[in-house]
Amino acid sequence: MSSQSTGEQPPKFSTRQVIIRVVMLVIVAALTVLLLVYRDQLQGLESLGYPGIFLLSILSNATVLIPLPGVVFTSAMGAVFNPVWVALAAGSGAALGELSGYLAGVGGQVVLEDSVQFRKVAHWVRQHEGWTITLMALIPNPLFDMAGFVAGSSHMPVLKFLFYCAIGKILKMLAFAYLGAGLLAIFGL
């Protein structure tokens, strides 16, 4: 169903808005490539303790559609440090890292505004935005970028997106941190 058949007109963007959105997409794509190229060097951040966990979590979640193993790192750090503090550092960092998907959504709205699938997901996010963002952030899946993308393109306030994303990410990281701590106890390491 196109926007013409529903009577809705797609939003018109000025040349400046289109340029800004395209630049955001290019920056997010470049960041994704850089993080993939330098992912082995990023592992050195773990020696910084909780701040390192926070930074590595930001970086591992800043890629778009290509996940880096942030939850594996969180499990390992949960075996070394206090799992609650690991979850807070990793979950907060993960939520901030997800801003890349949000910004890609703001920039990509020009490209996807006529996509049927995009409109369906956008409708679900608009109808249940807090629950949708929290649930998708809580469940380990590489598709969370789509939720950020939709939130950005739907003009969800960024602080609201970060709040619900942080709730889901912290709860997920808490489970993985305790999983790491539990495995350490089981194997007596």
Q: Residues 120-127: what's their mean pLDDT?
A: 77
- Give the E-state strand segments of the chain in sequence order: none
Helix (H) or strand (E) holding 140: none
Q: Which domain holds residue 54?
A: 15-187
Answer yes or no: is 151 within a domain. Answer: yes
Burial of 183 (0-12, 13-18, 19+ CB in 10 A): middle
Answer yes or no: is 2 within a domain. Answer: no
- pLDDT recorded at residue 168: 95
Answer yes or no: is 8 within a domain. Answer: no
Which amino acid is residue 122, in one-letter code? Answer: A
On average, the pLDDT of the chain sits at 75
Q: Residues 109-116: what's their mean pLDDT?
A: 60
First to last CA, the chain: 58
Closest CA to 172 of 123, 132, 136: 136
Indicate the DSSP class of residue 11: P
Q: Residues 16-29: what's their mean pLDDT?
A: 64
CB 113 within 8 A of CB 149: no
Q: Say if residue 3's pLDDT is above 50.
A: no
Tell me the helix, strand and coil percentages in the chain, rounded to 5.
Answer: 80, 0, 20
- pLDDT recorded at residue 32: 54
Answer yes or no: is 10 within a domain. Answer: no
Structural domains counted in the chain = 1
- pLDDT recorded at residue 64: 61
**pLDDT above 90 covers what percent of the chain?**
19
Answer yes or no: is 9 within a domain. Answer: no
- Per residue in 61-78, is it b (16+ CB within 10 Å) or e — as a string? bbbbeebbebbebbbbbb
- Per residue in 26-55, is it b (16+ CB within 10 Å) or e — as a string? eebbebbeebeeeeeebeebbeeebebbbb
**125 vs 164: which has the higher pLDDT:** 164
Sign of CA dihedral 90, 95, 96, 99: positive
Answer yes or no: is 142 within a domain. Answer: yes
Q: Residues 42-64: what's their mean pLDDT?
A: 74
- pLDDT recorded at residue 2: 42
- In whole angstroms, what is the distance from residue 58 CA to residue 55 CA? 5
Answer yes or no: is 137 within a domain. Answer: yes
